[in-house]
């Protein structure tokens, strides 16, 4: 059955995509990377000569330096499969990946010239200038390429793979409506519908599959997608058997449950295979690295801010009666309760079954408290929680136990925030989601940012969040 005979959900599928793009985009991208790296080296050498010798020219080792850096950079990208078209259909992680490869390139180059004892052959200034200039230039070029490829894929100008769909009509239509395969570079060359009844005549099923296989062979797709519920094992096995003898890749279309998870992954342990929907938020090595950074940075922060902490404590005692520090029970990693430290900013210190959130212009907030909250200074004592191991510098912000119980009841997957240690600052806060959460919508958005942080954690993401906490205006938005 032709795609064009289906209803509107499939009529939007681009047809007759040029196949040449798949074959030349990878080599072209590699050539572009080589040209960019080579140009960076020559440009750095020219600028160095102009600045130092006041003349236009290049160092004698420049061609060799350019060739080495270009070769290493392209080789690492090749080994990581970065020149495959599918990698450029989504902007997610592209800049970070390019940055990592560029760093590996420089480390590999420095190790190579050190072992070869030829380090003095190259200008250190040119190498450093090339590296620093390469960070924004390579990131920008990769970002522009991804935008161009993604736009071309959605417009139907670029095809990553030609696919043939087989399944029951309701399943196929639902799959196409949910995923819109052409948006990720798939061109649907044809569709075969199986009989609706699972208990139908086996001969009818065999006839349907034989006709579908013959049509698929004529269409010459790259892959076949079996779009059936995974519970229909016998039907799936029959489909696999019908298409095994064709020169195509065979895919089992994802169940709707997988759409809840961004990175499902097939895991093999010996002869045992499983579909992993989620992984531990951080591996053992990542937990160790994050903890080491927390301890060092928090200890340094305490030492550097000690005069400020003493001054704030004195101002609080002079401003209003009550303790300097406010302690409140909150949930940490794996919903283990702990007491958080904050500078007292209100006339009350609620920590019971009912805790009233602070509001803008709340009369309970003291004069000093307004200033502390405005600039996030009330959070500084939590450096003690970080050193004690209850918290991390970066993570989902913890809430009072009374609020946690209520939000867990109203917000889906709210408790997943506790899969990592809570933080003094977080991804939600630097994106402006700070302050009172008086509606479920506000809290749901904050939780969504917390979940994104958990799923995408990296050391450099933590560094970026800390930087934005200090210098970004959004981090100070919605202060109470």
pLDDT tens digit sequence for 42-77: 999 998 888 877 778 787 888 999 999 999 999 998
Residue ending a domain, choose from 240, 255, 276: 276
Instruction: List the Cα angle 80/82/88 in 5-degree steps.
Output: 150
Q: Are the C-beta atoms of 152 and 187 separated by less than 8 Å?
A: no
222 and 146, same domain (yes or no): no
Residue 436: C-alpha distances to residues 79, 326, 396, 400, 446 (Å) = 48, 18, 15, 13, 11
Structure confidence at residue 328 as a pLDDT band (50, 70, 90): confident
CA distance 120 to 444: 57
121, 137, 154 — which closes off a domain? 154
pLDDT at 362 over 60: yes
The DSSP output letter for 346 is B
Nearest to 134 by CA among 200, 24, 35: 35
Can you give the CATH number for the domain in which 11 is found? Answer: 3.40.50
Given CA atoms 397, 445, 458, 462 in this order, what sign does their dihedral have?
Answer: negative
**pLDDT at 19 > cutoff 60:** no
State the number of CA atoms in the 13 A half-sphere of 331 facing the CB: 18
* Over residues 263-280, mean pLDDT: 80
Distance CA 122, CA 90 (A): 38
Tell whether 297 and 340 lie within a shared domain.
Answer: yes
11 and 25 housed in the same domain: no
Is the domain of 456 the same as that of 323?
A: yes
25 and 12 together in one domain = no
Q: Which range marks the domain in which residue 233 is found?
A: 3-16+159-276
DSSP-assigned letters across all residues of 220-287 = --SEEEEES-TT-HHHHHHHHHHHTTSSSEEEEPPPGGGGG-S--EEEEETTEEEEES---SS-HHHH
Q: Give residue 357's pLDDT band: very low, low, confident or very high (50, 70, 90).
A: low
Question: Distances in Å between the alpha carbon of 291 and those of 14, 179, 296, 340, 395?
Answer: 50, 39, 9, 18, 12
For the CA atoms of 138, 144, 149, 154, what is the dihedral angle to 10 degrees?
150
Please, which pLDDT band fits residue 187 given cuts at 50, 70 and 90?
Answer: confident
Q: Are residues 188 and 39 in the same domain?
A: no
Domain identity same for 227 and 111: no
Q: What are phi and psi of 323, to 5 degrees?
A: -70, 155
Least confident of 131-140, 319-328, 353-362: 353-362
Is residue 17 over pLDDT 50? no
98 lies in the same domain as 220:
no
pLDDT at 3: 47
Mark whether 139 and 221 lie in a shared domain. Answer: no
Q: Are residues 330 and 434 in the same domain?
A: yes
CA–CA distance, 414 with 335 (Å, rounded to integer): 11
SS3 124: helix
Which of these ranges, 90-94, 145-149, 392-396, 429-433, has the smallest mean pLDDT? 90-94
- Helix (H) or strand (E) holding 404, with range, is helix 401-410
How far from chain centre, in Å, is Cα 163? 27
Residue 475 clears pLDDT 90, i.e. is over it: no
Residues 409 and 336 in one domain: yes
Res 313 pLDDT > 70: yes
6-12: average pLDDT: 46
Do residues 369 and 433 share a domain?
A: yes
Q: Which of 118, 29, 116 is nearest to 73 (CA)?
A: 29
What is the count of structural domains for the chain? Answer: 3
Per-residue confidence at 435, pLDDT binned at 50, 70, 90?
low
Query: Which of 222-231, 315-324, 345-354 is least confident?
Result: 345-354
Domain end call among 139, 154, 169:
154
The DSSP output letter for 357 is P
Environment class of residue 317 by beta-carbon count within 10 Å: exposed (0-12), middle (13-18) or buried (19+)? Answer: middle
Span 370-386, average pLDDT: 89
* Residue 12 banded pLDDT, cuts 50, 70, 90: very low
Q: Quickly state the pLDDT bin for 36 (edges 50, 70, 90).
A: very high
Residue 128 confidence class, pLDDT cut points 50, 70, 90 = very high
Report the mean per-residue pLDDT for the chain.
Answer: 83
- Mean pLDDT, residues 252-280: 81
């Amino acid at each position: 059955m032709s795609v064009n005979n289906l209803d509107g959900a499939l009529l939007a599928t681009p047809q007759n995509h040029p196949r040449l793009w798949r074959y030349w985009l990878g080599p072209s991208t590699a050539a572009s990377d080589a040209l960019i790296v080579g140009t960076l080296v020559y440009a750095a050498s020219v600028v160095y000569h102009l600045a130092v010798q006041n003349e236009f020219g290049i160092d004698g080792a420049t061609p060799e330096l350019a060739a080495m850096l270009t070769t290493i950079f392209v080789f690492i990208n090749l080994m990581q499969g970065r020149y495959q078209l599918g990698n450029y259909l989504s902007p997610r992680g592209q800049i970070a990946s390019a940055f990592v490869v560029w760093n590996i390139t420089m480390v590999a180059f420095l190790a190579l010239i050190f072992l070869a004892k030829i380090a003095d052959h190259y200008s250190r200034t040119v190498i450093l200038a090339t590296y620093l200039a390469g960070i924004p230039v390579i990131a920008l070029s990769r970002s522009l390429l991804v935008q161009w490829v993604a736009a071309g894929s959605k417009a139907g100008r670029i095809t990553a793979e030609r696919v043939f769909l087989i399944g029951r009509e309701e399943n196929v239509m639902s799959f196409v409506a949910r995923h819109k395969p052409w948006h990720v570079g798939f061109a649907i060359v044809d569709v075969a519908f199986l009989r609706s009844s699972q208990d139908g005549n086996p001969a009818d099923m065999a006839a349907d599959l034989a006709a579908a296989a013959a049509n698929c062979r004529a269409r010459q797709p790259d892959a076949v997608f079996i779009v059936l519920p995974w519970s229909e094992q016998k039907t799936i096995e029959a489909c696999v058997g019908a298409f095994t003898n064709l020169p195509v890749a065979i895919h089992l279309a994802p169940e709707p449950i997988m759409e809840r998870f961004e990175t499902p992954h097939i895991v093999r342990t010996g002869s045992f295979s499983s579909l992993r929907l989620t992984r531990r938020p951080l591996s053992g090595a990542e937990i160790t690295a994050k903890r080491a950074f927390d301890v060092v940075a928090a200890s340094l922060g305490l030492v550097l801010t000690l005069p400020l902490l003493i001054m704030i404590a004195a101002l609080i005692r002079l401003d209003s009666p009550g303790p300097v520090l406010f302690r409140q029970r909150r949930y940490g990693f794996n919903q283990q309760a702990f007491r958080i430290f904050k500078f007292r900013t209100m006339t009350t210190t609620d920590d019971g079954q009912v805790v009233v959130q602070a509001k803008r212009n709340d009369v309970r907030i003291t004069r000093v408290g307004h200033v502390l909250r405005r600039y996030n200074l009330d959070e500084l004592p939590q450096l003690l929680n970080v050193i004690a191991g209850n918290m991390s510098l970066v993570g989902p912000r913890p809430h009072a136990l009374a609020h946690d119980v209520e939000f867990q009841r109203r917000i889906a997957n709210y408790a997943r925030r506790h899969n990592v240690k809570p933080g003094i600052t977080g991804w939600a806060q630097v994106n402006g989601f700070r302050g009172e959460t008086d509606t479920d919508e506000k809290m749901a958005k904050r939780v969504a940012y917390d979940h994104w942080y958990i799923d995408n954690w990296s050391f450099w993401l933590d560094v970026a969040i800390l930087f934005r906490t200090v210098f970004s205006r959004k981090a100070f938005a919605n202060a109470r």
